[in-house]
A = this chain, B = another copy of it.
């Protein structure tokens, strides 16, 4: 995956409605969900939803297929995979000796669970 695609994917996800859409589709799996149902669940008017879906599609984070009058959207897990790979690539310069609990357990099996629990502070005084 190249940088422009990564930026495009991250920008797509860095928006509340789109993040909700994407997670909904990730949790739904390959079966997917029609645009209308997504809009209903998230309480979004159709033009807004359509705008966000097209952003996600452009970023290749979702795919769409037509089924009669419905357009079914599904998460694109391959793009997701590539994105995570890019972010963690060559972590700690590949030096395993410094790549411990505090650092690169990102790439450990089982590393992708709620281990942490810290919440950032509110904006304002930084």
Contact = CB atoms under 8 A, between A and B. Distances in A.
Contact of A28 (B10, B14, B88, B93): B93
Determine chain A's interface SS by DSSP, over half rule: helix
A35 interface: no
A19 to B, nearest CB: 6
Interface residues on A, range: 35 or more
Interface centre among A15, A27, A31 (most CB of B within 10 A): A27
A81 B98 contact: no
Number of copies: 2
Given A30-B98, A58-B126, A93-B29, A114 B7 contact: no
A70 interface: no
Given A7-B16, A80-B87, A81-B115, A60 B120 contact: yes
Contacts of A93: 27-29
A78 B120 CA distance: 12
Interface of A: 1-8, 10-11, 13-16, 19, 22-23, 26-31, 54, 57-60, 75, 77-82, 84-85, 87-93, 95, 98-99, 102-116, 118-120, 123, 126
